[in-house]
Amino acid sequence: MHNFRIATHNDIETIANLHALSWQNSYRGMLTDDYLDNHVLADRIQVWTQKINEPPAHQIILLKEIDNSVVGFVCAYGSSTDNFGTFIDNLHVLPSFKGKGIGRDLMKEVSNWSLQHFNQPKLYLKVLEDNHAARFFYEKVGGVKQADFSEIMPGGKSVNVCRYVWQKFKS
C-alpha cells in the first residue's frame, strides 16, 4: 500500500537516517568524507529533532510510505509572499527507490498543499551544482534553473548551488 502522511516525533530517527543515507550516496566528493562518514547522522538527528519539535507554522514534512515503510520524504515551507513561491528545503528518496516516481509524487503533494494553504502555485528549491542526477530529475519534472550561487554546507565546505523554480508544478 502506498500513502502519504505528516511526520511526527516518532519519525525523527527514520527521517534522519534516510537523509544521512541520501547524502552519503549523493554528496560523496561534494561534502567532506569526514563529515559524511562520521558526523552526518548525528547532525541530521539534531536538525530533524528541531524541525519536528519546534516547527514554524508554514512548515510541512510529508512521508511517503510503501507497505508501512518510509521510502521518501519532503520538507517544505509555504509562502504566499516569497518571490519564488513555496520553498522545498528537503526532498529525499531511498536510493533503492529512486526512479519509481516517489520524488515526483512528493513534489505534487507539496504543490497541492501550497495551493490549498497559501494560494501559491510556484515552487523552488536549491540543489548542489555537482548533483547531476538530482538536477536531471528536477529538469525532467519541469524545473527551470534560475540562479547559481555558493553556500556553506553542514561540515563547513563551500559548494556551488543552483536554484530551480516551477511557476506551477505539473506532474
Rounded to two decimals, what is the model's pTM? 0.95
Q: Residue 15 corresponds to which amino acid?
A: I
**Domains of the chain (ranges, CATH numbers):** 2-123 (3.40.630.30)
Q: Residue 170 pLDDT more than 90?
A: no
Residues in contact with 139: Cβ distance below 8 Å, sequence separation at least 6, in sequence order: 145, 164
* Among the listed residues 155, 151, 128, 153, the one whose alpha carbon sits nearest the alpha carbon of residue 38: 155
For residues 3 and 116, what is the distance between their CA atoms, to the nearest angstrom? Answer: 19
Q: Could you give the percent of the chain with pLDDT greater than 70?
A: 98
Given a cut of 70, is residue 69 above it in pLDDT? yes
pLDDT tens per residue across span 129-146: 999 999 999 999 999 999
pLDDT of 151 reads 95
Q: Strand runs (DSSP E) across the chain, as ranges?
A: 2-6, 59-66, 69-77, 86-93, 123-128, 144-152, 158-166
pLDDT of residue 1: 59
- What does the alpha-carbon distance between residue 117 and residue 90 come to, in Å, rounded to a whole number? 19
